[in-house]
Structure 1
Amino acid sequence: LEQVTEALLKVFRETFSNLPNLHALHHLPEIARNFGMLVNTSVSLKEAVHGLYKRTVLHTNKKDLSMDLSKRDNTLQTLRYLLDGGLDTRYDEINNFFTNFANDTILHKLLDD
């Protein structure tokens, strides 16, 4: 697989060098070893998340990246849940706040990334 990739890059360097699917080929043997087949396999989501994390790392202090990225993901998931109407009946005061908060168009743009 690596030889094929290298050969393609030698012949079509400018055309193939930045293609995500060519990069994805490198992940397929590992996926086959882990799951036994390549049916319904896609690495594009993983690559998209990786790119998102790379952009996010620039805005951290780089001390504890795992914790920073986990907190960010948890916060965004919680906000998305609340904005989608998910409320906790134990906290009426907070529910009222998020009911109004859900109409904030700037927040929606932030969470659509």
Structure 2
Amino acid sequence: MKWEEGGKEGTVVAGGRGNGNSLTQLSYPYGVVLDQLSTVYVADGWNHRIMRWPKGATQGSVLMGGNGTGGEANQLYYPRDLSFDRHGNLYVVDNSNDRVQRFNIERSSSLLRLDLFGYRVKS
């Protein structure tokens, strides 16, 4: 929900069509972050994906994940949180894989894989 200052009700900016995995639905969304263009990025936990909702969009697109649970570079396992750095890279907390992944949004490809509990860095 987006709330305007002084508003009496919010505006749905992502999901809102019930629990599910279509491009208009989310399932247990956790983290959310906006970029400089007001595009909304959501960690869609139970769908194991990151969704992108451009400002004013009626449906989102799968930015990464959505390929089932697993530990491969194109898979997420209950993503929890998101953050951008000053260079525009998106960091995803991949909760059940015990890792944080860094993605270059321009190419939507994984640049770095960090296994937190193994203290291994794969680039």
Q: Shorter-normalised TM-score: what interval?
A: under 0.3
Which protein is richer in strand relative to its size?
2
Give the TM-score taking structure 1 as reference length. Answer: 0.23
TM-score (norm 2): 0.22
